[in-house]
Amino acid sequence: MTQNALPSSQTIRLAPGTDPALVCGPGDRNLRRLEALLGVCASMRDETVALEGDAADVSAAALVVAELQALSRQGAAPGPSLVERAVHAARAGGHLPSQLRDDVLYAGRQGAVRPKTSGQKRYADAIRNNVITFGLGPAGTGKTFLAMALAAAALERREVGRIVLTRPVVEAGESLGFLPGTLAEKVDPYIRPLYDALFSLIGAERARELIDTGVVEIVPLAFMRGRTLSDSFIVLDEAQNATPAQMKMFLTRLGFGSRMVVTGDASQFDIASGPSGLLRARRVLEGMPDVAFAELSGADVVRHSLVSRIVAAYARFEEEGA
């Protein structure tokens, strides 16, 4: 408990039919994670959760316990990573995970795709409500996957006739040299993550069928010049590695009935020299109607919890100018 903090305690009686084991997690892992994140003492006895600590922390912990109870009653088995997201939402006044479960972006082969954080919810809403959306944030925040889920949903609803996925072909720190094979085989390593995400969403067989028929096109950014993309959902991934000229070229490919999503992480910049087209686009376009910039942060990382801590550690290191 911090100096001059107001001590507090609270007890929460679980609703009838709630499984205490789901709320607490195996070996009480959920309660232990709650204690570590908020500095409270949490214990379960006779289907009642007791909380002790600073008043503000106990209040946030009570919201998280109520959230764990709500999720468990919805059939979920919440774990420590969900506790982390709930704690962040409780502190920031954002969407709790149970409030996001009704927002299904796409019902895919691996189940429903939903936003998992308030930042992801704002990002998804920006894509729905704007013609061009820039999704900016660190690795693991779901920028590309959520954009592709919304693209797949738009295709299924026949809001668009095709999906176009593109990336700059830029080496990430090492030279791959003169790769053997056809042109498609040479660029495949650069755009393979787009295939992986697509296969995960709709299945490999369906994805190959759509690619073979041209309904889904995966193409290097340099091959976009001279085209007009109408009736399309277009996703530019890793846009921090696009030059200003490439970014202008890409954005001006927009045709009637189309929507664009541009994703990027300014902290993972692989261009050997010159400015990033993503950063320049923000300076040029921010505030323009039908164009949105959605910021995601380390709090929106939905990979292994260690990824969020790695992102935060690098951010601190760079801020200190070390």
Average pLDDT, the chain: 86
The two three-digit tokens of residue 176, written as one number: 């791959």
Answer with the residue of higher pLDDT: 176 or 289.
289
pLDDT at site 173: 43
Start-to-end C-alpha separation, the chain: 32
Helix ranges restricted to H, 74-165: 80-92, 97-100, 118-129, 143-156
Contacts of the segment 318-321: beta carbons below 8 A, 24+ positions apart: 318/267
**Any idea where the domains of the chain sit in the sequence?**
7-100, 106-319
Fold of 7-100: Ribosomal Protein S8; Chain: A, domain 1 (3.30.1370)
Average pLDDT over residues 249-278: 88
Token readout for 34 is 């709650």
- Tell me what the mean pLDDT of segment 111-123 comes to: 90
In terms of CATH architecture, what is 106-319?
Answer: 3-Layer(aba) Sandwich (3.40)
Nearest-angstrom CA–CA distance, 242 and 239: 5
Distance between CA atoms of residues 136 and 278, nearest Å: 9
**Angle at CA 181, nearest 5°, toward 176 and 145?**
65
Q: What is the pLDDT of residue 4?
A: 47
pLDDT of residue 183: 53
Cβ atoms 115, 103 nearer than 8 A: yes
Beta strands in the chain (DSSP E): 7-13, 41-45, 48-54, 106-108, 111-113, 132-136, 162-167, 216-220, 232-236, 259-264, 291-295
- Residue 162 pLDDT more than 70? yes
The reported pLDDT for the residue numbered 290 is: 97
Cα gap 320→53, rounded to integer Å:
32
pLDDT band at residue 321, thresholds of 50, 70 and 90? low
What's the pLDDT score for residue 181? 56
- Whether 252 and 276 have beta carbons less than 8 Å apart is answered as no
Q: How sure is the predictor about 185, in pLDDT bands with cuts at 50, 70 and 90?
A: low
Beta strands 259-264 and 232-236, pairing class: parallel
What's the pLDDT score for residue 251?
A: 97
Q: Is residue 286's pLDDT more than 70?
A: yes
- DSSP bridge pairs for 53: 8
Number of Cα atoms under 13 Å in the Cβ half of residue 263: 26
Q: Report yes or no: 81 and 305 within 8 Å, Cβ to Cβ.
A: yes
Q: What is the mean pLDDT of residues 222-229?
A: 91
pLDDT confidence band for 6 (50 / 70 / 90): low
pLDDT at position 271: 66
Topology agreement, domain 7-100 and domain 106-319: no
